[in-house]
Amino acid sequence: MNFERAKSIILIILVGTSIFLTWSIWTYEPEYNKFGDRSNYIKIKSDVQIVSDVVKPVSILFHGNGQHFQTSDPVEIDKMEKEFSQWSFTGVKEISVKRLQRKFDDFVHEDGSIEIEFSDDVPISLYKTVLNITDKDVPGFSFDRIIIKQKDISGNESAVYFVSYDQEKIYQGMVDSKRLRDFMDDFYTGSYSKHPEYTAETINSKRTLFVPEKSIEVNRLQYYIDNLDIGNLKNALFNDPKYVRQEPVSTGEEYTDGTRLLTINKENYLISYINPAQKSKLLDSPGDLLQKSIDFINDHAGWEDNNYRFAYMSENEQRVVFRLFVNGYPAFNESGMTEIEQIWGKEEIYSYERPYFSLASVLPSEESVETLPSGREVLNQLKSKDNIDFKSVEDISIGYKLHKSLDSKLVTLVTLEPTWYYRIGDKWFIVPGDTGGDQSGLE
C-alpha cells in the first residue's frame, strides 16, 4: 500500500468518525429524574392577592363552661376559613330587632360558641366572594365577627351569625346542620386543651375584652430585608412616567410631574405619595372602597411578602389601612413602617403611604423567646394610669414592635419585639409600665 492510499483511508475514517460524533450530539437525549411533586421544588411568589388573602380573621375565641380560650395561630385560622368558605349560606337576614330584650354582649360571647374575629367591620358585599351565599339579593351590612353556637344546631339547617360589635347589629344565614356539627367537632371540641385560657373583662356597658390568664411566651425575631421595585410603583402612580422629574432630598429622593409628588424616605424605607388634585372625595361604598384598595396594590405588585392584612377602614375619610402580620401577631412602628395606608379622592388615589421593604429571611441565631406579662397584669396597668381612659379601650392585643438596625456588614435588619398594645378608636398604643411602652399613637 503506497503512502497516498494510506492517507486517503485515514482521512475517510476521520470524516466518518466526525459525522458519527456530530449525529450523536444532535440526537442525544439525557435521562432526567422525574419530579414527583414539582411544587416542592419550584415555588413562585405571587404578587396578586384576592379578598381571602387579605381580609382574614385575626383570632378565634372559644366559649364553654364559663371559660374562654383563644388562638391567633394562622395555620388554624386558615383551616377554619377554608372550611366555612365551602358552606352554602341561604336566607341571609337581619335579626337584631328580635334580640333587643336580651343583652347584646351575652349573645355574642355565649357559652358553647365559636367567635371568629376580624380587625374591623368587613362589608358582606365584598366578603361574599369568599363565602358561598346562594341568595340572589343579600342585604347590605358589615360585620367584624362570625359566630357559630352549639345550642342552635338542630334540624336540617342551622343559623350562623354575622355580628357588628360596634353597631350592635346581628345578621344570620342558614347552613347545613351536618356541616356545622362537623365544624364544631373539629374545632370546638377539645379547644380547652389546645389553647391558652383567657379571662373576660367588662370595659363598659357595651364592651367585653378577653386577655390571657397567664404570661405568654412569644418569639423575638430578626430579619434581613428586601426592597420593593420603585419602578413599578412610579409607573402606577404617574399617568405619563416620561414627564416625571427626579430630585434628591436630604432623606432620599422625590419624583414629581408638576402635580403629583412621590417621596422616597431611604432612612425609614417609606414611600409617601400625594395628588392634591384628587382632594375632593367621592364616597364609594365600603365594599367598593376595600376592593379597589386591594386591586390598586395588585396593579403594581405591591404586596411583597404577602404578610399584609386588612386592618381598618373609614368610609367617611375614604381611608383603608393594611397592616403587617407576623406569625399571627400585628406589627407596629411609630414611623409607619408596618402599614399600607390609602386615601381615595374623587377619581383616583389621593394619598398613599407605605414601606418599600419586605421581610426576606429570618436570622435563626437571633430568634429568642420572650415572656410577656399576663393579660390580668396588663389590665391592672391600664387601670392604674390616670392619663388612660380605661372605659374607652376597645382592644388589647399582643403585637410586634418593629425597629431597624445595621449588622456588622452595614446590612439593614429589622427586629420584631413582642409587646402588649391597646387600642382607642383607630389608634394603637404600647401598654406603659413593665412592657416598656410609651404613650405615642401608632396608627
Q: How far apart are alpha carbons 102 and 141 in whole angstroms?
A: 21
Q: What is the pLDDT of residue 40?
A: 34
Neighbours of 160 (CB within 10 A): 25
Radius of gyration of the CA atoms of the chain, in A: 29
pLDDT at 232: 81
DSSP 191-232: HHHHS-EEEEEEEETTEEEEEESS-EEEEEEEEEEEE--HHH
- Nine-digit cell string for 203: 370595659
What is the H or E stretch that residue 140 is in? none
pLDDT of residue 98: 57
Residue 336 · residue 265 · CB < 8 Å? no
| pLDDT value for 45 | 45
Residue 442 main-chain phi, psi, to 5 deg: -115, 0
Going along 65-215, which residue ranges are E strands?
67-71, 88-94, 113-123, 132-133, 142-149, 157-164, 169-176, 197-204, 207-212
Question: Do the Cβ atoms of 424 and 394 come closer than 8 Å?
Answer: yes
> Facing residues of 315 across strands?
none
DSSP letters of 291-343?
HHHHHHHHHTT--TTT-EEEEEEETTTTEEEEEEEETTEEEE-TTSTTEEEEE
What is the rounded distance in angstroms from the CA atom of residue 258 to the CA atom of residue 263?
Answer: 13
pLDDT at 26: 54
Question: What pLDDT is stored for residue 191 in this prediction?
Answer: 84
Grid coordinates of 218: 412569644
Rounded alpha-carbon distances, angstroms, from residue 324 to 109, 308, 333, 336: 28, 4, 10, 10
69 Cβ contact list (under 8 Å, min separation 6): 61, 62, 191, 192, 194, 195, 196, 197, 198
Q: Where are the beta strands (DSSP E) in 306-437?
A: 308-314, 319-326, 329-332, 339-344, 349-355, 357-362, 368-372, 395-406, 412-424, 427-430
pLDDT reported for residue 20: 59
Instruction: In whole angstroms, give the CA distance from residue 305 to residue 309.
Output: 11
Each residue's pLDDT expressed in tens, for the chain with a length of 443 residues: 565 666 566 666 666 666 655 555 555 444 433 333 333 333 334 578 999 999 999 999 999 999 999 999 999 999 999 999 999 999 999 997 655 445 888 999 999 999 999 999 999 999 999 999 999 999 999 999 999 999 999 999 999 999 999 999 999 999 999 999 999 999 999 888 889 999 999 998 889 999 999 999 999 999 999 888 888 888 888 888 788 998 888 888 999 999 999 999 999 999 999 999 998 778 899 999 999 999 999 988 888 778 999 999 999 999 999 999 999 999 999 999 999 999 999 889 999 999 999 998 888 766 689 999 999 999 999 999 999 999 999 999 999 999 998 876 778 899 999 999 999 999 999 999 755 444 444 55
**Cα–Cα distance measured from residue 39 to residue 165, given in angstroms and rounded to the nearest whole number:** 41
Q: Under a CB-based contact definition with an 8 Å cutoff, are residues 273 and 327 in contact?
A: no
Supply the pLDDT for residue 9. 64
